[in-house]
């Protein structure tokens, strides 16, 4: 049996290693279009490779994926984040877990992961053919698959496509022609530009736990928020960009967001706390006593936005003003106009539709003996090691080559 893996990235290597482990007699070849394998692994996580996430349960892990939950639920049952950490440990790649649950190699070098994969492929005698672009694929006799290269064509018993995310639909045309549905590729994981909002004057301010919502939709996210000189960033914004990726694309990145700066939702509770401050510190100036541990600069900015003099004493504000403060703390609005790519990690929302594959074995419904794994599928996660985990898990499952 000879098996081809198209694409020498994270999913391709992991699939190849497991195909050869599952079928030791098979000839396994990775075809990589560039002169380098595992290029994204190399640059990932700022050169440190956030290899997975230490989420404690499969349910928790699944929360991190705006698209692909159903396929991943089944894949994580076979191979999940804990399995990946064990897999690396068994091969002497120790990992460390950060406070935010991101997992990195202990060496803090993505090269450790690359060296491990290269040693494994060498030991298993997996062939790697660089500078080989697969141009086309077709079903040939006896359900085999013919791959076409610039140099000619070759026939394989089984093929796994691991060509990664394609930012343009054009890059997926060769797979669409075979009868696979394509979910339009659009960017995910980006930050929000707010060219007309004065809040950008607070650049550098971090608010630890906010909730952000795309107005008029069900999309919300929470976590730390960073104000930048062009708008807003930080985990809460990146998560919102991932979950709202398709909706925001359709809105041409022009939309209002609602920010709850204090992650409290009951109007009366917030009001009670403000009245308590007023009672305890009636003579304090508003600017000198910021409620809910808000960053100083943000509190002054919100007072200015409400046209409340910062010198005013707490006792001098009435019921109407207190209501206004509650509103701005829990439901402040900003206009987003445009986006900026998050440089640390960007992924594509969209790809081969999950309707075109069997969720259990990742086999194509259109072409026999063809499988998919990794970001080429309409599967993507938020930042935190989740995208690599999707590549490892889907690569592992596709490598079973189950009919």
Ligand X SMILES: Cc1cc2nc3c(=O)[nH]c(=O)nc-3n(C[C@H](O)[C@H](O)[C@H](O)COP(=O)(O)OP(=O)(O)OC[C@H]3O[C@@H](n4cnc5c(N)ncnc54)[C@H](O)[C@@H]3O)c2cc1C
Note the residues at the interface with ligand X (CB under 6 A): 6-12, 31-34, 39-40, 43-45, 49-50, 133-134, 162-164, 345-347, 374-376, 385-388, 391
Nearest distance, CB of residue 161 and ligand X, angstroms: 9
Q: Please, which residue, 37 or 262, has the CB nearer to ligand X?
A: 37
Nearest distance, CB of residue 344 and ligand X, angstroms: 6
Backbone angles phi, psi at 189, to 5 degrees: 60, 75
**DSSP percent split of the chain into helix, strand, coil, nearest 5:** 40, 25, 35
164 closest CA partner among 24, 294, 393, 348: 348
Q: Please, which residue, 35 or 141, has the CB nearer to ligand X?
A: 35
Distance CA 81, CA 377 (A): 19
Q: Please, which residue, 7 or 223, has the CB nearer to ligand X?
A: 7
Number of Cβ within 10 Å of residue 308's Cβ equals 18
Nearest distance, CB of residue 160 and ligand X, angstroms: 11
- E-assigned strands of 261-396? 332-337, 339-341, 347-352, 370-372
Q: Please, which residue, 11 or 159, has the CB nearer to ligand X?
A: 11
Would you state the torsion angle of the CA atoms of residues 37, 38, 39, 42, taken in this order, to the nearest 10 degrees?
A: -140
Classified as helix, coil or strand, 47 is helix
39 closest CA partner among 6, 18, 9, 61: 9
Q: Please, which residue, 34 or 296, has the CB nearer to ligand X?
A: 34
Q: Please, which residue, 9 or 244, has the CB nearer to ligand X?
A: 9
Nearest distance, CB of residue 30 and ligand X, angstroms: 9
From residue 74, give the alpha-carbon distance in Å to each of 8, 79, 364, 380: 24, 9, 16, 15
């Amino acid at each position: 049996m000879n098996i081809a893996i198209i694409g020498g990235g994270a999913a391709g290597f992991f699939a190849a290693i497991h195909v050869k482990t599952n079928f030791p007699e098979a000839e396994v070849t990775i075809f990589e279009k560039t002169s380098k394998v595992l290029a994204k692994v190399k640059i990932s996580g700022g050169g440190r490779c956030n290899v997975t996430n230490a989420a404690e349960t499969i349910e928790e892990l699944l929360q991190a994926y705006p698209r692909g939950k159903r396929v991943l639920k089944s894949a994580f049952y076979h191979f999940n984040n804990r399995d990946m950490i064990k897999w690396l440990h068994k091969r002497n790649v120790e990992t460390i877990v950060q406070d935010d649950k991101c997992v990195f190699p202990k060496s803090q070098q993505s090269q450790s992961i690359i060296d491990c994969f290269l040693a494994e492929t060498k030991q298993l005698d997996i062939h790697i053919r660089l500078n080989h672009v697969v141009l086309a694929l077709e079903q040939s006799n006896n359900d085999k698959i013919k791959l076409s290269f610039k140099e000619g064509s070759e026939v394989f018993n089984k093929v796994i496509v691991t060509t990664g995310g394609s930012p343009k639909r054009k890059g997926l045309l060769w797979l669409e022609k075979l009868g696979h549905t394509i979910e339009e590729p659009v960017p995910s994981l980006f930050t929000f530009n707010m060219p007309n909002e004065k809040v950008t004057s607070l650049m550098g301010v971090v608010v630890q736990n906010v909730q952000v919502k795309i107005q008029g939709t069900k999309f919300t996210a929470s976590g730390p928020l960073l104000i930048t000189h062009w708008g807003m960033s930080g985990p809460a914004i990146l998560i919102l960009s991932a979950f709202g990726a398709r909706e925001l694309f359709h809105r041409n990145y022009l939309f209002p967001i609602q920010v709850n700066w204090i992650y409290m939702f009951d109007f009366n509770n917030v009001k009670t706390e403000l009245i308590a401050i007023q009672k305890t510190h009636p003579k304090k100036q508003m600017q000198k006593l910021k409620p809910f541990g808000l960053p100083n600069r943000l509190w002054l900015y919100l007072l200015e936005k409400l046209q409340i003099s910062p010198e005013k004493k707490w006792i001098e504000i009435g019921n109407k003003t207190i209501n206004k403060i509650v509103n701005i703390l829990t439901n402040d609005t900003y206009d987003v106009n445009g986006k900026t790519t998050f440089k640390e990690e960007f992924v594509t929302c969209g790809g081969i539709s999950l309707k075109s594959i069997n969720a259990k074995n990742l086999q194509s419904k259109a072409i026999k003996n063809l499988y998919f794994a990794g970001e080429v599928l309409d599967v993507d996660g938020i930042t935190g090691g989740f995208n690599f985990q999707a590549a490892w898990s889907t690569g592992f499952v596709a490598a079973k080559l189950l009919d």
